[in-house]
Amino acid sequence: MDPRFDISKIVLAMIAIIADIHGNLPALEAVLRDIDASGCEQIISLGDVAGYYCMLNECIEILRKRRIPNLMGNHDYYLLSGEGCPRSLSASRCLEYQQTQITIENRNWLAGSKESITRGDLSFVHGGWEDPIDEYLYTISREYFSGRPGRYFFSAHTHVQVACEFDGKLYCNPGSVGQPRDGDPRAAYAIFDGRSVQLKRVAYDIDSIAKEMAKAGFEPRYYQNLFTGVRIGGAASSVTIARNAN
């Protein structure tokens, strides 16, 4: 078991679930303040601390200090492998910048991220259960989870906050801390109390990360999307819950 996170205690206490921080320190700090005020006793990151924004070291150092585990996200993998993002030149440029900035200690910590965590009825991944790192769950259906062991399923990757329950199973994507894409610019996360989830949104100082990106040499198109809660380039994302799901 990862010594940074005793998941055996998860059913005994509220847990905050964060994801897709993407080097956005002001968003992470705002979310953590809200989590601390909520009384959550544990926090888990579903991956992608890396990618997009320029304060990766600061974000990792907070997770390390607070002993928050991180699952391996696709951008985390891209940074560690040096492969770059196959879908986006913009994302690859951001990763190239982060590769020049990340400390050895923080890189080693990131490399220790697991692909998944499963304990009892709870299952956590970054992407999906067919591909833990890079599967996009843009459609949530009863059929997808039918027959999968477990009752509570948590994943990230789409940057769209959603929760649904059907056939006694609960699925939740907490949304993105650092780059929401569902048209709401507020940072997103979720709280799980052992039975149900609460979806949370937190306003933060977007201007501060925009200024840091400009200082790091990035053009406005790399961060203007944060003000409207969409992708770089301006497109919003959405998730469909199949009609036969409650």
CATH number for position 225: 3.60.21.10
For 29-82, how does the pLDDT look when each residue is reduced to its tens digit (9 = 90+)?
A: 999 999 999 999 899 999 999 999 999 999 999 999 999 999 999 999 999 999
Is position 1 within any domain?
no
**Domain that includes residue 192, residue range:** 11-241
Amino acid identity, position 2:
D
Which pLDDT belongs to residue 40? 93
Is position 231 within any domain?
yes
Inter-residue long-range contacts of 181-186, CB under 8 Å, 24+ positions, other chains counted = 181/229, 181/230, 181/231, 181/235, 181/236, 181/237, 182/229, 182/236, 182/237, 182/238, 183/228, 183/229, 183/230, 183/236, 184/229, 185/226, 185/227, 185/228, 185/229, 186/229
Which pLDDT belongs to residue 84? 86
- Percent of the chain's residues with pLDDT above 70: 93
Is position 2 within any domain?
no
Is position 51 within any domain?
yes
Is position 4 within any domain?
no
In this model, does residue 149 exceed pLDDT 80?
Answer: yes
Mean pLDDT value across residues 113-134: 96
For 215-231, how does the pLDDT look when each residue is reduced to its tens digit (9 = 90+)?
A: 999 999 999 999 999 99
Is position 98 within any domain?
yes
In this model, does residue 6 exceed pLDDT 60?
Answer: no
Buried b (16+ CB within 10 A) or exposed e, 1-30: eeeebebeebbeebbbbbbbbbbbbbbbbb
Is position 77 within any domain?
yes
Structure token digits, residue 38: 């909520």
On average, the pLDDT of the chain sits at 93
If one counts the domains in the chain, the total is 1
